[in-house]
Structure 1
Amino acid sequence: MQYLRIQHLSKTYANGVKALNDVSLDLGPGMFGLLGPNGAGKSSLMKTLAGLQTADQGEIHWNDLDVRQQPRLFKQHLGFLPQGFGVYPKVSAYELLQHLAILKGLTHRASRTEQVLALLEKTNLYAVRHQEAHRFSGGMLQRFGIAQALLGDPKVLIVDEPTAGLDPEERLRFNNLLSEISEERIVILSTHLVEDVRHLCTDMAIMNRGQLIARGKPEAFIQNLEGKLWQRRVAKTELAASQPGLLSMQLVGGTHVAHYYAPSCPGPDYQPLAASLEDVYFHTLNQPAL
C-alpha cells in the first residue's frame, strides 16, 4: 500500500514569517482533510509538497522515494490543483488539456487523446470541450483544473481551496467528483471550509500558525465534545464582552446565539448543544499545538 510521509518539515520566508513549524504527517490512500484559517500554513505545505518551494528542513517520502532528493520523479506521480487556477485565453478546453498533457510527458498522441477525452467526460466537460476555457464559469474552471491535475493518472493528488467561491450546486458536484477520485489514490484536500472536510474525509488535521494542532478522524473529534457543548441567546450588550468558554457566535433568526465549551452546564440559561465539526474546529484553535 502506498504512503506519503512528511517528517519535521519547516519553512521560514525571507520576511521572517515561519510558514511551517515542524510539521509531520503520515498519509495513506483516501481523502485527507487539512483545515485551518487563512495564514495557517496550509498553502505553504501544499506548495512544498508540490515542489513549488523548498523547505528549510525536514523530509518527505513517497513510498521508498525521497521526494526532496528526487522531486522530478515524484512529480511524475503527482497531480496539483492550486488555489486560483488560471488558463490561457482564446484556447479551447480540449486544446489546452492536450497542451498540458504534452508538458506532463504524455507524448504518445493516440493514448494522450484518449486520456484527455476521458477526463473531459469524467469532469462533465466533454460537451463544452471546444469552448474557450477562460470563458468557463467558476465551477467549470475548477472541474477543468481537476482534469489537468489527473493527467498521467497521478497516485497523489493535492487540491488547495478547490470549492472557494463556488455556488452550492457546483460545490456539491465538485465534491462528488473528489470523493470518486479519492478511492484510487492519496488525495489531500486543503480548505478552510469545515463542511467539505466533514462530508468528504475520514481523516483530517487542523493547522494554525504553521503548526499541526490536531490530527484524527472527524467522527472521533465530534464524539469527544459530546456533552461538553452549550448554547444560549446573547444580548447585544454582551457581544463585546469576554466570555469564558466561548467558541463562536452567530446570528440565527435575528438573534445572536453563542456556542460554549464547558465540562458541565455553565448556568440555567444554557442549553445542551449537539457537537459539530465546526465546534471542534473553533475549540481546537484555542488549544496548544501538538
Structure 2
Amino acid sequence: PRVARGSSSLRLSMNASQAVSAADSHSDKRTHRSLLERLRQHSRGESGSAFVEALLEAAAVAAASPRRRTPLGHAQLLSMVSATVEERCALGTAECEAAVAAVGPRLPALAALLHGAHSSGEGSAAWRVGVSSVRRLLRAHGSLLASAQAWLLAEKGSATPPASEAADAACALAGAVLPLLLARGRASAEQQLDWAAWSKLLGGLLATASPAVAIDGFAPLLGALPAEELLKRVLPAVTKALKRAAEGVLPCLPRLFAALPRAAPLPAAAASSLSEQLAPPLLAASPAGRSAGGGARAG
C-alpha cells in the first residue's frame, strides 16, 4: 500500500507539473477552457485534495523559476489555481477549508505570478485575467483576504525596502486586494481602510518597485486616498523616485494623475503643494534641465 500511495502521489505531482508547463502552450481560450475542465475533474476525484496541493506547489516552483514565461502564461496559471480551489470548495466545507489552507502559505508565490502577468502589450489583457483570478479567490474566502492584507502590510511595510522583484510582486497583489478592501470599507464603518498604513506601504515600495507596476497596483488606493495622505507620504516618494530614476517614472505620471480622484478635486492648497513638490524634479529631468546639470558638472 505504501508503494501504491507513493506512486499515486508521484503521478499527481507529474500531472500538476504538466498542467503548469501547459499554461503557455494553451494560449487560446478554447484549449485553455479544455485544460481547466481537466483540472476540475482531477480536483473532484478521490485524490482531489492532494492534486490541488500538488498544483499549488508546482505553481510556486514556477513562480520562483528563472524560466521565461509569457504574461498570459502567468495569468493562466493563476486561473488554473483559482478554478481548482473553487471546484474543491463546491464539494463541501471540509474540502474547501483544506484547499484554502493550502493556498495561504503560497500567497507570495501567487503575488509573483501576478507580477509576471503585468507587462506591456499582451500584458494588459493578461493582467486583467490574473487579477480577476486572484480576486475571485480573495472575495470568496475572507481568511485569504485577511492573510494577503497582513502579508503586504507586515512584510512590505518594514523599514528596509524589499528587493525590486519582491516589491513588484507586492504591488501586483495590492491590485487584487485593494478593491475588495475598499468595497468592504464602504459597506461597513468598522472595516475602514487604514489609510496611513497603506499610503506608507506605497511610499516604501516606490523606492524599489517598477513605477508602472506600483501605480497600476495601487490605482484603486490613489483614487480614494485622502489628500493629506497623498501629500504626506505618496508625493514625496514619487519626488524621490523622479530624482533617482526619472526615465522610468516620467512615462508613468499620466497614469498616476489619471488614478487620482476626479469626483473630489484636490483643495487649492493641496494642488499648490503638489506643484511645489513635483516641479523641481520634473524640471531637472527635462532635456534642458539635464543639459544645464551636465554643463554645471563640466564647469
TM range (shorter): under 0.3
- The structure that is strand-richer by fraction is 1
Q: State the TM-score, normalizing by the size of structure 2.
A: 0.24
Larger helix proportion of the pair: 2
Greater length-normalized contact order (CA 8 Å, ≥ 6 residues apart): 1
